[in-house]
Amino acid sequence: MRGQVSHLRAAVLTAGCRLNQAESDALRQRLTLEGATLVEAPEQADVCYVNTCTVTAEADRSSLGLIRRVCRSGPAPRVVVLGCLAERAPERLRQVPGVSEVWDNARKQARIAGLGPIPARSRALLKVQDGCPYRCSFCVVSGLRGPPWALPAHQVRQQLARLVADGFREVVLTGLNLGTYRDGATTLAGLVRGLLAFLDRARLRLGPLEPDTVDDALVCLLAEPGVCPHLHLPLQSGDDDLLARMNRRYRVEEFELLLERVLRVRPETNIGVDVIVGFPGESDKSYERTWRLLARLPIGYLHVFPFSLRPGTEPACAGEPVPKAKVRERVGELRALSDRRRREYAARFVDSVRPAMVETAQAALTDNYLRLKVVGGEALAFRSLARLRIGRQGSVLTGSPD
Ligand code: SF4
């Protein structure tokens, strides 16, 4: 295969989650190894890869929009579509004028197997796990990604060491259901513990984790300075009946206890939560339970998703549909709550100093996931870790070298 595309300029565009972004980064590595030149704009590319997502109806729309935009860019590149929408609806994508090839997920995996990422951003996303043994009733993705897979721990160490040697100071571990990582007897906690020795100049952030997979060993690791005090936990609902109908593997009380355990170990942890609004059968009472729970939980932000019925999940999601106007109203309420929570969480850190990774001359990201506008940081190197004092300019958080 080497040399096959050596004369080519290639662009890789991505829709969807961090796992997709990590895979796009690995595809960039493959293309580079084969001698292709990477470009950003589709109109500069001979071949353009579009890595799609299908997690929601909105994800379908934006993936299709991206494909159409790329196909219209001139002079027309060869367009290869891959990712979860390509796996789920290949015929539909083949009909889009300008699409040259559609890859299923097996073909994508075969192209990127064994490769670490060439990150297209300041942080490196390292895919260590794929596939999901769970069957959440609303989820179309777990059935599309094939059986559970884990990058062997020694290869994770090698790839992490290479990324740190290449100058990356933050590496985000990603997976479809990251907490189910297993390499023989090595769990995710064991993997992370083994990586700490390589982190003297860098830090590790954990991607989203299913709440039931966060065991005590993992919680204890949050006390390590090399592990960012930031967790993203998909809650989805604050109503036990809905959680049962969603096939989720925890209940509200366990979720609350998990947050208590985390904050006992590292009180400054920024906890983000996913929630689905308008799941069929979500009555006023069940929404009220979700609202009350989220209003009392010590969280830093919410990601709120209006429910959308996905192909293949219909019987599991049978139930009284929630009127659209009600869904919109609930989404609005919870997003307003999220905004408040972001402000309240950030306010706790104004006037304090935190380690932050310099993303551009004007932007940095703290260990606890606060985005800062850098002030007076002209001397700070791109991607370096710096100690920044957090301040405020109106609603914007600032960071100046301490
Ligand atoms: S945990 Fe649930 S929502 Fe997440 S990928 Fe697995 S089945 Fe889908």
Residue ranges per domain, the chain? 9-110, 122-228, 233-348, 353-401
CB count within 10 Å of CB 166 equals 12
* CA-closest residue to ligand 1 atom 2: 136
Question: 157 CA distance to ligand 1 centroid (A)?
Answer: 26
Question: 18 CA distance to ligand 1 centroid (A)?
Answer: 14
Closest CA to 187 of 136, 150, 234: 150
Best mutation site among 139, 178, 212, 235 for ligand 1 pocket (most ligand atoms within 8 Å of CB): 139
**pLDDT tens by residue, 336-373:** 999 999 999 999 999 999 999 999 889 999 999 999 99
Cα–Cα distance for residue pair 130/177, rounded to 1 Å: 7
Question: 318 CA distance to ligand 1 centroid (A)?
Answer: 18
What is the reported pLDDT for 352? 98
Question: 168 CA distance to ligand 1 centroid (A)?
Answer: 29
* CA-closest residue to ligand 1 atom 5: 142
CA of 247, closest atom in ligand 1: 2
**pLDDT tens by residue, 126-177:** 999 999 999 999 999 988 888 899 999 999 999 999 999 999 999 999 999 9
What is the reported pLDDT for 1? 39
Question: 46 CA distance to ligand 1 centroid (A)?
Answer: 36
Fold matches, 9-110 and 122-228: no
Percent above pLDDT 70 for the chain: 97
CATH class assigned to 9-110? alpha beta
Best mutation site among 105, 132, 310 for ligand 1 pocket (most ligand atoms within 8 Å of CB): 132
Question: Is 84 a pocket residue for ligand 1 (Cβ < 6 Å)?
Answer: no
29's CB contacts (< 8 A; 6+ apart) are 112, 115, 116, 117, 118
CA 44 to chain centre: 28
Question: 142 CA distance to ligand 1 centroid (A)?
Answer: 6
Percent above pLDDT 90 for the chain: 83
E strand spans, 115-194: 124-127, 129-130, 149-150, 170-174, 182-183, 186-187
Question: Which fold is adopted by the domain 122-228?
Answer: Transcription Regulator spoIIAA (3.30.750)
**pLDDT tens by residue, 263-322:** 999 999 999 999 999 999 999 999 999 999 999 999 999 999 999 988 888 766 778 899
pLDDT(6) > 70: no
Annotate 68-88 with b (16+ C-beta within 10 A) or e (fewer).
Answer: bebbebeebbebbbbbbbbbb
Question: Which fold is adopted by the domain 233-348?
Answer: Transcription Regulator spoIIAA (3.30.750)
What rounded mean pLDDT belongs to the chain? 93
